[in-house]
Amino acid sequence: MTQPRTLHGRILTATGWMQGNIEFDQHVRSISAVPDRNPDFDLPLILPGFIDLHVHGAAGVDIMLGGDAARTVARTHARHGTTALLGTTMTADEDDIVHALQGLAGAIETREPGMARVLGVHLEGPFISIERLGAQPPLVVEATIEQVERLHALAPIRVLTLAPEIGNHRALIPRLKALGIRVQLGHSAGSYEDGVAALEAGAAGFTHLFNGMTGVDHYHPGIATAALAHAQYAELIPDLHHVHPGAIRTALRAIPRLYCVTDATAATGMPDGEYPLGSQRVFKCLGCVRLAAGSLAGSALTMDQALRNLVSLGLDLNDASNRLSLYPADYLGLQDRGRLTPGAWADMVVLDAQLRVRQVFVEGDALEVA
């Protein structure tokens, strides 16, 4: 049992910035603070821990390797302030996906010291379009409820990406929703109309908005246009390589609860070089991760850098934090994460004035930082 502790600083609470103390064990017990009207900028900043709903890897390993890979990934991202995440798969043969989920199951069941909480699975493939693979291999299949149920029984699928224009995918969305799975539209060659129809059928969000989908064309609008016109939630990669700042600002104005993900690969936290991404090899150079042919293939982003990038675009820290913590928690229906309020899990990241990570707490446990 975690012993009660107290942190003092500028605390981003559910009602805004406060200055004072937060007492916690595994959960937040109390916040004794006053409104931050005259901020002391020498005090540390205490924010809700980051929640990353799209993570493929880190530290040289990929979720698809199975075994202890998910634990290594969760430890690495935790040092950068991520306190909870979804292990994300790649398009692959079912046997390889099963192997990955079997490895994830243990990490989901038991959070070991030093790890972020692995909340479940983001199944990014194989139910995608051959025309919009991005960095996914061409091993796509049409989804069936039987296959999803088999995989869901191995490890809880919290988010599932599919291309809504394929086969029976749109009709499948209500059945996936009934299983407690958030269906996201992505890796899709579909039209605006396909996107709107999928939302009406119960789809909840969009996978790495703008990337791997039909775009914004005023004659032939695509999936990204459906997101901008109708979405409440969508994920976006704010590494400033995947999406131009102008497009990020457009999405921020259009989508009320746009939240950010890393889409991090095995190259995260590693020097330039060659790394696995599912069955493929990717190359990290100058902060980007690419296939041999040159196209972007996930990222080397961490959530603390995502926060700094958002602030560099002009977002205030409260807004930027919400897009890394509160909104992804709400998207998964988690009322006890992504916010600092009595009764919530004591998931916290402590930053200095330059927004560098100084301390991380996962469910009250202090972790080593980067």
Averaged pLDDT score across all residues of the chain: 96
In a domain, 327, yes or no: yes
pLDDT for 2 beyond 70: no
Q: What is the pLDDT of residues 110-121, one digit of tens each?
A: 999 999 999 999
CATH assignment of the domain containing 141: 3.20.20.140
The domain of 248 spans 49-336
- CA 163 – CA 190 distance, rounded (Å): 7
pLDDT reported for residue 370: 67
pLDDT reported for residue 369: 84
Query: Which ranges constitute the DSSP H helices of the chain?
Result: 69-78, 94-109, 145-154, 169-178, 192-201, 223-230, 245-254, 303-312, 317-322, 326-331
pLDDT for 306 beyond 70: yes
- CA 328 – CA 338 distance, rounded (Å): 8
- CA 261 – CA 82 distance, rounded (Å): 11
In a domain, 195, yes or no: yes
Q: What is the pLDDT of residues 326-365, one digit of tens each?
A: 999 999 999 999 999 999 999 999 999 999 999 999 999 9
Position 244: which residue type?
H
Q: Largest alpha-carbon pair distance within the chain? A: 61
Number of domains in the chain: 1
| Tokens standing for residue 26 | 């595994």
In a domain, 347, yes or no: no
pLDDT reported for residue 41: 86
Query: Which ranges constitute the DSSP H helices of 32-154?
Result: 69-78, 94-109, 145-154
In a domain, 15, yes or no: no
Nearest partner of 151 among 127, 186, 117, 169, judged by Cα: 127
Asked if 70 and 347 touch (Cβ cutoff 8 Å), the reply is no
Q: What is 254-311 written as a DSSP string? A: H-TEEEE---B-TTTTS-SEEEEETTEEEEEETTEEE-TTS-EEEE---HHHHHHHHH
Handedness of CA 23, 27, 30, 34 (dihedral sign): positive
pLDDT reported for residue 107: 97
In a domain, 4, yes or no: no
Residues known to be catalytic: 263
In a domain, 26, yes or no: no
pLDDT reported for residue 81: 98
pLDDT for 1 beyond 70: no
Nearest partner of 291 among 137, 96, 83, judged by Cα: 137
- CA 137 – CA 124 distance, rounded (Å): 12
pLDDT for 126 beyond 80: yes
In a domain, 197, yes or no: yes
